[in-house]
Every structure is written in C-alpha cells, then in structure tokens.
C-alpha cells in the first residue's frame, strides 16, 4: 500500500476540516483498516459527498467511516455504534455494521476508530427528486413516512444514548433553548422583530417532555441522508446516525421538512399520514418550537424568504400548516 499519509497532520479542528473529505489522504488508511480486519479490498474508493466524518465507499459495496477527535467525532462514534446495534435485525433500509477497528491501535493518543458498513443503493433524495415527477415525489414521501413509523416502533435497547432514560435529548434541547435566538440572529433568515418574541414563546424543556414517551429519533433527516430509486419509486436507504436520540418524533420532522422536503407541506402531510402521526390542534406551534430548538441551521436549504414575517403564529402556519387537526396532543 506504500507510505501511509501522516495522521499527525490532523492536529486541530481546522486541519481536520481541511482533510475530512480528502480522498487521496484517507483511501490508503481505509485500505489499511480493511486489511487489519480481513475484509476484501475494493478496486477504487469514492467520497460520496461533504460529510462531518471521512466516509469512503468502495466499489465492492463496503463503506469505511472514520472518526476523528474533532468535530464531535467521539460522540458521533458512540451514537452510530449504538444506533447500528439497536437497529440490527429490524429489516430496515439502513447500513449493516460489518466490523469496527482502530487505525492506530497502539497509540497512546487518539487511535482513529472506524466502522465498516454495507453500502445502501440508489441516489440521495436531493439528487433523485430533482428530475422526478410529482407523483413519484409524493409516493417517495409516503415511503419515508412508513419508515419513520417503523423507526418509532424500534425498542430503545441501547445503554447510553438510545435508552428510555437517556438525558441526551433533554440536554440538547436545553442547550438550544439558551442559544437559539443568538444563533438565528447571526444566520439572518428571520426578522429581528420576530426573534425578540422567541424567548417568551419557547416552553420549559421539562414541561415539554413531561408527557412524551421516548422513541427512536433520527435528528438529521436531510436530503443527502435519505436514498431512493426514483425509477422504481422506492426508498432504498437511510444513513448517518451521528444525531440520534431517545426523544420526541416531532424533532426529527424539522430537518425532513425544511431540508429534504424544502418546506413542501403536501409532502409533509403525506409522510405524516403514512407514519400514522395524527396532526394535533397545536401541531404548527409545537413544530415551530422544535424548529427553534433543533440543533442545526435548519433554514439553510428552505426556499422561502421568511424575513418579512414578524408574527410567530404566521411563521408557524407558513412552515407547518398541513391541514385540519384530527386530534389534540399537549406538551
């Protein structure tokens, strides 16, 4: 395999960011990792796109995902490892965990852990639906909803993140409640006048979660993490379990709707029906709360100019109104 690239080049968050999607840098290390575990070598690797962690997809259907000590790498490894254990054997369209190892097993410092996964088929939602007709897009949204319904039924058998008494979800909501107004002011998607009212609008996190039964939540359902085959009108995969929680189903809808569905409320309504999620009388307000408490820059891919909206009720309706309420679900 020749001389391996020097991992000592990655000594900071900045140097990691510069290298994280560098195929030439990571491919020799991916081969080394596969060799250490006895896996067959692909003829070629490719980088599937921008990602937080280095991901290399082999032409033999084997995926290597590496975890650095920066950009939340240790937390991502814990989440993904636990998610694949919890999801194993459920018959869901997610990668299989084939193996795990460390690139630098004898190192006194960061050992560069990695997972070996199976590849999912198809194209990312974002690629596939760009040329799909409306009927295909609606049918794929229905299948996404069915998948979300199945995820809700997954037993939370994890030991740290995906267990019923995990504090991870509550902790991230509390952190976001403290930071959300400042972050949204910096991002600039919303009116400053509207943001003045957000602190009073957001409920206490403990009150929010008091009546919520924890369920499996994928918190990053964006358009590059869902895979489909548009020609067969089939949902083929869900990847990237860095941001999973034992939490509230509604949290996962934020990225799905505002990123993947690009705020298309008909697609959202279709997914909700097939997830067997009843739209409550307070749904739009509840979803606006989770919009502000979500851990990402959620309006980045939303094709709506929201800067002239100064009323929170109007914003909630513009984003989340999906039809007549069928039941009432309180916080």
β-sheet with 226-229: strand ranges across: 123-124, 226-229, 234-238
Q: What is the CATH number of the domain that holds 264?
A: 3.90.1200.10
Q: How confident is the model at residue 51 (pLDDT cuts 50, 70, 90)?
A: confident
- Check: CB of residue 41 under 8 Å from CB of residue 33: no
Domain identity same for 167 and 305: yes
Q: Rounded to an integer, what distance in angstroms lies between the CA atom of residue 267 and that of residue 257? A: 8
Does residue 2 sit within a domain?
Answer: no
Q: Which of 118, 151, 171 is the C-terminal boundary of a domain? A: 118
Given the residues 220, 240, 259, 295, the one annotated as active site = 220
Confidence of residue 2 (pLDDT cuts 50, 70, 90): low
pLDDT value, residue 130: 87
| Mean pLDDT lowest among 10-14, 91-95, 196-200, 227-231 | 10-14
Between CA 229 and CA 122 the distance in angstroms is 5
pLDDT above 90 (res 107): no
Tokens 């290597």 appear where? 64
Same-domain check for residues 154 and 82 = no
Rg (C-alpha) for the chain, rounded Å, is 21
* Whether pLDDT at 327 is above 70: no
- pLDDT, one tens digit per residue, over 55-64 is 999 999 999 9
Looking at the structure, tell me whether residues 143 and 280 fall in a common domain. yes
Coil/strand/helix, residue 83: helix
Task: Select from 88, 118, 148 the last residue of a domain.
Answer: 118
List Cβ neighbours of 109 (8 Å cut-off, separation of 6 or more): none
Lowest mean pLDDT among 10-24, 81-95, 265-279: 10-24
96 and 132 inside one domain: no
Which DSSP category does 247 fall into?
E
Q: Which residue has the tokens 């920066």?
A: 70
Whether 30 maps to a domain, the answer reads yes
Name the residue among 179, 51, 206 with its Cα closest to residue 117. Answer: 51
294 is a domain residue:
yes
Q: Please give the structure tokens belonging to residue 29.
A: 């290390």
Q: Are residues 131 and 48 in the same domain?
A: no
Residues 305 and 163 in one domain: yes
What local confidence, expressed as pLDDT, does residue 72 receive? 85
pLDDT at 328 over 60: no
How confident is the model over 277-304, as a mean pLDDT?
A: 95
Given 118, 139, 157, the domain boundary residue is 118
For residue 243, indicate whether it is catalytic.
Answer: no
Q: Is 251 among the domain residues? A: yes
Residues 220 and 309 in one domain: yes
Does some domain include residue 81?
yes
Q: What is the pLDDT of residues 140-179, one digit of tens each?
A: 999 999 999 999 999 999 999 999 999 999 999 999 999 9
Residue-number span of the structural domain to which 159 is assigned: 124-320
Asked whether the predicted pLDDT for residue 326 surpasses 90, the reply is: no
Same domain, 137 and 181: yes
- Give mean pLDDT, residues 122-134: 93
Compute the mean pLDDT over every residue in the chain, rounded to the nearest whole number. Answer: 94
Average pLDDT estimate for 247-260: 97
For residue 109, tell me if it sits in a domain: yes
Residue 331 lies in a domain: no
In a shared domain, residues 69 and 143: no
Query: Which CATH number does the domain housing residue 15 bear?
Result: 3.30.200.20
Q: 329 or 293: whose pLDDT is higher?
A: 293
Q: What is the rounded distance in angstroms from the CA atom of residue 172 to the CA atom of residue 318?
A: 26
Domain count, the chain: 2
- One domain, residues 236 and 301: yes
What is d(CA 157, CA 164) in angstroms, rounded to the nearest whole number?
A: 8
Distance CA 166, CA 206 (A): 14
Same domain membership, residue 180 and residue 106: no
Beta-bridge partners for 229:
234
pTM listed for this prediction: 0.92
pLDDT at res. 96: 96
326 found inside a domain: no
Q: Do 173 and 290 fall within a single domain?
A: yes
Inter-residue contact 247 to 213 (CB < 8 Å):
no
pLDDT-above-90 percentage for the chain: 87
């Amino acid at each position: 395999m020749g001389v391996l690239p020097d991992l000592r080049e990655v000594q900071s968050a900045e140097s990691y960011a510069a290298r994280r999607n560098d195929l030439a840098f990571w491919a020799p290390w991916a081969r080394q990792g596969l060799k250490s575990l006895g896996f067959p070598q692909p003829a070629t690797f490719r980088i599937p796109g921008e990602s937080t962690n280095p991901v290399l997809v082999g032409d033999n259907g084997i995926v290597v995902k590496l975890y650095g000590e920066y950009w939340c790498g240790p937390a991502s490894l814990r989440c993904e490892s636990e998610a694949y254990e919890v999801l194993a054997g459920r018959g869901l369209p997610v990668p299989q965990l084939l193996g795990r190892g460390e690139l630098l097993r004898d190192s006194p410092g960061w050992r560069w852990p990695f997972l070996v996964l199976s590849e999912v088929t198809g194209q990312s939602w974002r690629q596939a639906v760009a040329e799909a007709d409306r009927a295909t897009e609606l049918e794929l949204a229905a299948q996404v909803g069915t998948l979300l319904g199945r995820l809700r039924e997954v037993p939370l058998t994890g030991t740290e993140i995906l267990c019923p008494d995990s504090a991870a979800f509550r902790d991230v909501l509390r952190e976001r409640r403290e930071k959300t107004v400042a972050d949204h002011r910096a991002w600039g998607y919303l009116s400053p006048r509207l943001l003045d009212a957000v602190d009073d609008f957001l409920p206490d996190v403990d009150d929010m979660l008091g009546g919520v039964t924890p369920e499996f939540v994928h918190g990053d359902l964006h358009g590059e993490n869902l895979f489909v085959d548009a020609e067969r009108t089939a949902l083929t995969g869900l990847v990237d379990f860095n941001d999973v929680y034992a939490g509230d189903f509604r949290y996962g809808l934020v990225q799905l709707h505002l990123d993947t569905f690009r705020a298309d409320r008909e697609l959202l309504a279709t997914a909700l029906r097939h997830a067997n999620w009843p739209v409550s009388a307070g749904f739009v307000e509840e979803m606006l709360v989770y919009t502000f408490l979500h851990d990402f820059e959620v309006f980045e891919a939303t094709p709506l100019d929201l800067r002239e909206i100064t009323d929170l009720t109007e914003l909630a309706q513009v984003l989340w109104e999906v039809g007549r309420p069928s039941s009432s679900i309180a916080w």
